[in-house]
């Protein structure tokens, strides 16, 4: 079973703190050393993720505003991980999305599913969490169920 979480370019504190709390209530751990900071380059992210076998990934949808990165969104990061880091190919992914970007995410998901980039196998590993759900007490249970479901798929 998965127990550790690696946050990749986590959101600002208001959203991050709520997400971290739900993850901890769900029974998973986040070590400060496992947090991949917002200012990390794409190459640094991929290099650090190579060492995270068996981790749950917390990747926000709007992962970067930098012009120096090709991986602008959490989906870009997830696709790069799926294509390049085999040891994370079965890891559950938690992807919070701000209310302001939820329509953009829906459009992007439709396009990526139609193009075949977002395969059904990858799609079922990702739990999308709306910002509006962050205050719901049952979110921790939802996260735990998702991780268990992904684990059971590959057990």
3-class DSSP string for 24-54 = HHCCCECCHHHCECCCCCHHHHHHHHCCCCC
Q: Give residue 4's pLDDT.
A: 96
In the chain, the number of structural domains is: 1
Q: Give residue 63's pLDDT.
A: 54
Nearest Cα neighbor of 150 from 127, 125, 121, 126 is: 125
- Residue 112 in tokens: 């990526």
| CATH code for the domain of 68 | 3.40.50.2300
Share of the chain above pLDDT 70, in %: 94
pLDDT band at 150 (very low <50, low <70, confident <90, very high): very high
Taking the C-alpha atoms of residue 17 and residue 15, their distance in angstroms, rounded to an integer, is 6
| pLDDT per residue as tens digits for the range 43-96 | 899 999 999 989 999 999 875 555 555 557 889 889 999 999 998 989 999 999
| DSSP E strand boundaries for the chain | 5-7, 56-58, 93-97, 126-130
**Maximum pairwise Cα distance, the chain:** 40
Range of the domain at 10: 5-154
């Amino acid at each position: 079973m998965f127990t550790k979480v690696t946050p990749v370019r986590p959101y600002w504190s208001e959203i991050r703190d709520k997400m971290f709390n739900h993850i901890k209530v769900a029974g998973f751990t986040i070590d400060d050393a496992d947090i991949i900071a917002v200012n990390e380059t794409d190459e640094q992210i991929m290099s650090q993720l190579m060492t995270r076998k068996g981790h749950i990934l917390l990747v926000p949808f709007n992962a970067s505003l930098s012009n120096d990165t090709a991986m602008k969104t959490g989906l870009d990061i997830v696709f790069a991980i799926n294509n390049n880091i085999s040891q994370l190919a079965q890891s559950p992914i938690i992807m919070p999305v701000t209310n302001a970007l939820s329509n953009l995410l829906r459009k992007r998901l439709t396009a990526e599913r139609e193009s075949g980039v977002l395969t059904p196998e990858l799609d079922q590993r990702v739990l999308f969490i709306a910002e509006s759900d962050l205050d719901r007490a049952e979110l921790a249970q939802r996260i735990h169920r998702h991780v268990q479901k992904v684990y059971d798929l590959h057990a």
